[in-house]
Structure 1
Amino acid sequence: MLKAQKATSSKSYHRIWHSYHTWCCEGGLPFRELDIPRILSFLQRGILLNLKLSSIKVQISALSVLFQTRLALHKSIKTFVQGVQHIRPPFRSPVPGWDLNLVLEALLDPPFEPMGSISESQLTKKVLFLVAISSARRVSELSALSCDEPFLIFHKDKAVLWTLPSFLPKVVSNFHVHQEIVVPTLCPDPKNEKERRLHKLDVVRALRWYVERSKHFRRSRSLFLLPVGPKRGQAASKATLARWIKETIRQAYLSKGKAPPLSVRAHSTRAVGASCALRNSASVEQICRAATWSSVHTFSKFYNIDTYSSAEAAFGRKVLHSVVQ
């Protein structure tokens, strides 16, 4: 029963319980007694502290576990949440915060090429970014990949990766657990200069280079390793992988003489990669399976962004043209 919650959820819930306990003690209120008005006052305190709607919902979930009741179904709690939605509506940017085409173009040239001579740090970042953008997987999943068979198998036209058996995804279900990650080749037998340049974005090629060059310092079965420092060869943490993805985007912008975006999240690779795939005729079913979204609603509500709006602009252009005809 103690393992029913993932470690990250338990840590978050314990932090909220401690906060609620401290708040009750400061007001001389009984901590263990379930009282809806008191819980509403605690949630209102969160609003005064500028918590977002998502954070308020986590507090409700944590207190529901504490009091063993589904607080979210209580009429007063539901009304409170509706009020929060009105005064603090969730916002998601309709456009990407960075240009995927620019980053991919930068990966074709120094400091990300040629793979045989660039630093191991740059090689690691390039391979990580290509796997992240072509698979639309979370950083937690990327950190659970392995270089050993059968968790990484190279085929003629693709590479298939699996997370380690000990890894638990964000949602533990038959659909989400141990799904394979398939990354394809790109122009594996280039015939001209254009294909030779595109081949530099071949994820399978990048993985082969990385596995081969990391053999001499590898000290972990994890795929992505720390390339420098006293812990060289050990597995890179989730936080480190996220930082590397952001650094890759930043370096790509600088190499193209562009100012890097002010705020980039590693998690954005899921939205950018999936949205670009949709614009290039990938089916929604293919996208949801690749990114392990069990519902199309998840993609459309939280991840689909406008990567190309010229078609939509055509409508307004037609309207304006009608004025001068």
Structure 2
Amino acid sequence: MGRIGNSLSHLLLGLSTSLQQAQVEPSLQTLSDASLQAFALMARELGRTMSTLVQTRRQVWLAQSPLTETCRKVLRAVPVEPGELFGAAALEALERAARARQTRQELSGLHRSMSAPSRPRGPVAIPQRRSQPDYPGGLRRSQRPYENRWKLFSDWCNGKAADPVRCPVAIVLEFLQFLLDSGRSHSTLRVYVAAISSRHEGVDGATVGCHRLVSLFLRGALRLRPPRTLRAPAWDLPLVLEAMSLPPFEPLTQVGLKWLSMKVAFLLAITSAKRVGELQALSVAETCLRWNPDGSGVVLWPNVAFLPKVLSRTHLNQPIRLARFDSQSEEGRSELLCPVRALRAYIAATAGIRQSEQLFVCHGGPNRGRALSKQRLSHWVVDAIAHAYGASGRPPPSGVRCHSTRSVATSWAALRGVPLEAICAAASWATPGTFTRFYRVNVAGHCPMAAVLRPSSADSKE
């Protein structure tokens, strides 16, 4: 509308100029001038309306984002760009704020080091791997994870009386060897190399990471310590599902809210293959929970304020679709494991105590009925697995995590013939390589190829 109004204003301006040159009647000239003024007023009011809408969208986005108050103040001062919430000036402003904060931290660290008593220099303990983004919700600074690594390298060089910015490659290789001897993996060494390359002046016109000797060292470290991948699942899914069909998880009309909560959390984690943060963000609001009219299933959405791990159009506000199991299928026990049935029973059981629209709420204690945290939701899933093992007379596996449900669920889905595209879409993976490299485990039988030794029915008759 703004572009159309602008074009019509230019046409009227040209018409008014032509009428003045043609010396027509004054009434026509007055009508042309009035139309031009009307279009000018319309364009101005339309611009104000568009500016108000953009400002409103920015305020809503800032109110729902997990940014710090400092970042919000910086973004509010950024000028508005037509049709966009934030333009290139927003990233530049955040970068300036991050650099100013980093400078203040360096100055405060320098002041502490000058006031602290001197101490002998030498190799220092390697801090635990840690990476915290400056700007949650997608606006993160890539140099932030390198600060601690660079500090460690600087302390190492100071102990060797070398300049960390201009030191030769031999010092860098010696530092990497120290990390390797300390038990660091190949991927961790690559992060340290990237941190050094970001501030080192380089060698022979190239960065340290591109140097041939450094590349050969990293290649050798990969061969010495190849990445460890999952080979076998940490727990047995059929065993846990069998326990879910027995007391204390059944019958649903008689079980306690504790066991019902654990069962629903486990079934949703298995059937959706979602992260615990995505499960915790589910809501029972009318806009986030829709039952199929024929009772065949349900669709769940996370609340509007939830930001997934990967911020992209394909990952935002992704629904979870669950279908009801047929009561006549597979030994008549499938209905006992139906997530739709369990979810309906859970929502009905928590209706009287619910104090939050979040799907999962606390079932006891002083926070009864309030929103459940991600940590407690993870405990529910792990406790359900541990109880299933205890009920079967087997010791519970050690080191079980809620995140393991993603690998177990997707591996069983692949074994049952579910296409990789559908598995990746459910688990929010961009490519099948993520599943095959990091999540796929061997859920087949202990000796799956032993079936070739068993004669077929036709061979037995012969």
Pick the TM interval, shorter chain. Answer: 0.7 to 0.9
CA separation in 1, counterparts of 2:412 and 2:315? Answer: 23
Partner of residue 302, structure 1: 438
Q: Secondary structure at the match of 1:270?
A: helix
CA, structure 1 residues 16+230, in 2 after alignment: closer, same or farther (shift >3 Å)? farther
Partner of residue 310, structure 2: 171
Question: Which of 186, 199, 218 matches 1:81?
Answer: 218
1:252 is the counterpart of 2:388: yes
CA, structure 1 residues 255+66, in 2 after alignment: closer, same or farther (shift >3 Å)? farther
Alpha-carbon deviation of 1:301?
1.7
CA separation in 2, counterparts of 1:193 and 1:272? Answer: 21
Query: Which amino acid counterpart does residue 383 of structure 2 have in structure 1?
Result: E
1:241 is the counterpart of 2:371: no
Does the CA contact (< 8 Å) of 1:148 and 1:221 recur in 2?
yes
Does the CA contact (< 8 Å) of 1:154 and 1:204 recur in 2?
no
Partner of residue 301, structure 2: 162
CA separation in 2, counterparts of 1:218 and 1:42? Answer: 56
Alpha-carbon deviation of 1:315?
5.3
1:52 is the counterpart of 2:185: yes
Does the CA contact (< 8 Å) of 2:263 and 2:384 recur in 1?
yes
CA separation in 1, counterparts of 2:187 and 2:173? Answer: 16
Question: Which of 208, 229, 237 matches 1:100?
Answer: 237
Ranked by relative contact order (alpha carbons within 8 Å, sequence separation 6 or more), the top structure is 1
CA, structure 1 residues 35+218, in 2 after alignment: closer, same or farther (shift >3 Å)? farther
Query: Which amino acid counterpart does residue 185 of structure 1 have in structure 2?
Result: R
| Runs of 5+ unmatched residues, structure 2 | 1-90, 96-132, 456-462
Partner of residue 322, structure 1: none
Alpha-carbon deviation of 1:104?
0.3
Alpha-carbon deviation of 1:161?
1.5
Does the CA contact (< 8 Å) of 2:301 and 2:318 recur in 1?
yes
CA, structure 1 residues 86+133, in 2 after alignment: closer, same or farther (shift >3 Å)? same
Partner of residue 271, structure 2: 134
Does the CA contact (< 8 Å) of 2:297 and 2:340 recur in 1?
yes
CA RMSD of aligned residues (A): 3.5
CA separation in 1, counterparts of 2:443 and 2:363? Answer: 34
| Runs of 5+ unmatched residues, structure 1 | 319-325
CA, structure 1 residues 55+23, in 2 after alignment: closer, same or farther (shift >3 Å)? closer
CA separation in 1, counterparts of 2:454 and 2:221? Answer: 39
Query: Which amino acid counterpart does residue 214 of structure 1 have in structure 2?
Result: T
1:270 is the counterpart of 2:406: yes
CA, structure 1 residues 83+102, in 2 after alignment: closer, same or farther (shift >3 Å)? same
CA separation in 2, counterparts of 1:144 and 1:65? Answer: 37
CA, structure 1 residues 119+169, in 2 after alignment: closer, same or farther (shift >3 Å)? same
Alpha-carbon deviation of 1:165?
2.7
Given the two structures, how large is their TM-score scaled by the length of structure 2? 0.59
Q: Secondary structure at the match of 1:169?
A: coil
CA separation in 2, counterparts of 1:210 and 1:34? Answer: 63
CA, structure 1 residues 150+71, in 2 after alignment: closer, same or farther (shift >3 Å)? farther
CA separation in 2, counterparts of 1:210 and 1:58? Answer: 45
Partner of residue 321, structure 2: 182
Alpha-carbon deviation of 1:230?
2.1
1:125 is the counterpart of 2:262: yes
Q: Secondary structure at the match of 1:159?
A: strand
Partner of residue 116, structure 1: 253
Partner of residue 280, structure 2: 143
Q: Could you tell me the percent identity over the aligned residues?
A: 35
Query: Which amino acid counterpart does residue 164 of structure 1 have in structure 2?
Result: N
CA separation in 2, counterparts of 1:215 and 1:36? Answer: 67
Alpha-carbon deviation of 1:40?
5.3
Partner of residue 21, structure 1: 151
Partner of residue 321, structure 1: none
CA separation in 2, counterparts of 1:300 and 1:110? Answer: 36
CA, structure 1 residues 192+181, in 2 after alignment: closer, same or farther (shift >3 Å)? closer
- 1:27-46 counterparts in 2 under 5 A? 27-28=157-158, 33=165, 37=169, 43-46=176-179
Higher deviation after alignment, 75-84 or 115-124 = 75-84
Higher deviation after alignment, 133-142 or 236-245 = 236-245
Partner of residue 219, structure 1: 355
CA separation in 1, counterparts of 2:231 and 2:339? Answer: 28
Given the two structures, how large is their TM-score scaled by the length of structure 1? 0.82
